[in-house]
Amino acid sequence: MLQSLSIKNFALIEHLDIDFSNGLSIITGETGAGKSILLGALGLVLGRRADLTSLKDKEQKCVIEAHFKINDYGLKDFFGQNDLDYEDVTIIRREILPSGKSRAFINDSPVNLQELQELGDYLIDIHSQHQTHELSDEQYQLYILDAVAGNGNLLAEYGKQLSDYKNLKAELKKLAEQKEALSKEQDYNTFLLEELNAANLKAGEQEELESELEKLSNVEFIKEALAKSLAIANEEQLGAIQNLKEIKAALQKISTISVEYNQFYERVSSVLIEFEDIAAGLSQNAEMLWDDPERLEAVNQKLQLIFTLQKKHQVTTVEELIAIQAQLDSKVIMAGEADEKIAALSANIQQAESLLNSTSLSIFKNRENAIPVVNDKITAMLAQLGMPNARFKFDLKHTDSYHAKGKDVMELLFSGNKGTDYGLLKKVASGGEMSRIMLAVKATLAEYSKLPTIIFDEIDTGVSGEIANKMGEIMKAMSSSMQVFAITHLPQIASKGRHHYKVFKKIQDETTVSELKLLDSEERVREIAEMLSGKDISDSALNHARALLN
């Protein structure tokens, strides 16, 4: 509920602080006194766009702040989803700066207008004779039935099932597209894979083959170098090994004389061992070296195959070719498994459809059962409101299509007079009839769901007497479970309120300002008497006002 409203520098309001209570609150005042300014200020708090014309003093900022008690509205999830601090008494503030910029805050956290509008939908419903278009909206009509039918849990379950179903359908579509793409490339991918498989590639193979090719291509040159090296090493008289042995023998004789000579001896011994090992290796390598034209051709062909594959796949290493081989293998396997995956996914979709169909059918049956209840309640109220011949026909159909709130579509048909055919509500009901129908609908919904604070803005236009009295009674009954405001010109309705506020204009410092005042008992009597008889209040008007209030 709206607990308080503070307005600074807005339109004709210089500074206004007002507290509100639950129940039915009446707001009255002469035409042009500023009732629409109050609604405009609330509209800004609820996210309506602002401009500089809203500022009374163009040099000062406009600040509108509203306090809402929201602990019964179940809004903690909304605050969590929007990363806002939740408070049982939530403060919404809107500021319009002289520069034209606008800022909005929820519990001192800055928010954008969309977040403000979304929260506002939960807090206040402003309804006037010219704002009955939602009655013609199919989703709102279904909402009425769902509230009476108690479909809340079923609709939540259906919403989750519909989300799962859509995700499965999207996954199936993606898989089918992948299969189609893979099928188109399947033959080519298979050819490429077989080509790479046939090449029998191994990591590091290219470097080994290139080294082997270098050896095979230079056999004679290598043989000559090895032979010369071995000859120098192994010549009996002047060979390197023989010379090292003689050096070793000479040093051995003096190695005992000093540590220094012993170190020379040991180092030469090590060199000799290493050189003998080198000579043995060279000899072994020379024995294994021979001309092999067939192997040279094989190595050449394998390297040429590797170069061809690298060029085809636009890579430079065997390792990259092996990676491409693995990718192609995966694609070929995926193409083969796609049908199995599609079949499994299709089965899941059928199961999801079965759940959706079952839940949506339960929703439909509950709506069907709610139709006579809604019909009876609304027509009974409309009879009290001067529409005794009002009749409705809820044309509800269960379709094959999945919609956001089930599989149903509906047309609400209306006839306001005896002997007239039914027609679409938005086409055959007048503005005054739509206002009364909306009041009856809101009163019915108040019995079955937690509605936000509702403001009826001169919904009583065009009615009077006993019908106005009945409208007041309905609003009063609604206010037993919710906060209701009624902006009215009719004393019959004004007398039904628990609290009565008056909007008036006055001259202050050569400037016209609007103010809002909570009337005490005697002030209220005089206000209603003035509504009955005008500025010249008679004793009979005062007595009539007291009678209405009593």
Domains of the chain from N-terminus onward = 1-128+451-463+482-519 (3.40.50.300), 176-337 (no CATH), 521-550 (no CATH)
Would you state the pLDDT for residue 261? 82
- HSE (side-chain half, CA atoms, 13 Å) at 40: 18
The predicted model scores a pTM of: 0.68
3-state secondary structure of 334: helix
Residue 407 in tokens = 């599989």
CB 445 within 8 A of CB 377: no
**SS3 sequence of 132-165:** CHHHHCHHHHHHHHHHHHCCHHHHHHHHHHHHHH
Going by DSSP bridges, is the β-strand pair 511-518/102-106 parallel, antiparallel, or unpaired? unpaired
SS3 54: helix
What residues contact 203, with CB distance under 8 A and at least 6 apart? 318, 319, 322
Q: How many residues does the chain have?
A: 550
CB atoms within 10 A of CB 51: 9
Walk along the chain (550 residues) and give the pLDDT tens digit of each residue. Answer: 999 999 998 888 888 899 999 999 999 988 777 788 888 889 899 888 877 777 888 888 999 999 999 988 889 989 999 999 999 999 999 998 888 888 999 999 999 999 999 999 889 988 876 666 778 889 999 999 999 999 999 999 999 999 999 999 999 998 888 777 766 666 676 777 678 877 888 888 878 877 767 766 666 777 777 777 877 777 766 778 778 887 888 888 888 888 888 898 889 889 888 888 888 888 887 776 666 677 777 877 888 888 888 888 888 888 888 888 787 777 766 666 677 788 888 999 999 999 999 999 999 999 999 999 999 999 999 999 989 999 999 999 999 999 999 999 999 999 988 888 999 888 888 877 888 898 999 999 988 887 789 999 888 877 778 888 999 999 999 998 899 999 998 999 999 999 999 998 888 777 888 888 999 999 999 999 999 888 888 889 999 999 998 8
Please say whether the beta carbons of 16 and 6 come within 8 A: yes
Q: How far is CA 503 from CA 13, 27, 37, 43, 453, in A?
A: 11, 7, 10, 18, 20
Residue for token digits 């979709």?
349
What is the predicted pLDDT for the residue at 237?
Answer: 67
DSSP 2-52: EEEEEEEEETTEEEEEEE--SSEEEEE--TTSSHHHHHHHHHHHTT----G
Sorted by sequence, the CB contacts under 8 Å of residue 447 that are 6+ apart come out as: 377, 481
Cβ neighbors of 92 (< 8 A, separation 6 or more) are 45, 65, 66, 68, 104, 105, 106, 116, 119
* Helix (H) or strand (E) segment spanning residue 514: strand 511-518
H helix intervals, 200-292:
205-217, 219-234, 240-254, 259-288
Contact 543, 534 (CB under 8 A): no
| pLDDT in the model for residue 298 | 80
Paired tokens of 190: 């298979």
Token pair recorded at residue 157: 């379950």
In a 13 Å sphere around the CA of 76, the CA atoms on its Cβ side amount to 4
- The answer to whether residues 352 and 217 touch, using CB atoms and an 8 Å cutoff, is no
Residues sharing a CB contact under 8 Å with residue 105, sequence separation 6 or more, in sequence order? 91, 92, 93, 94, 95, 111
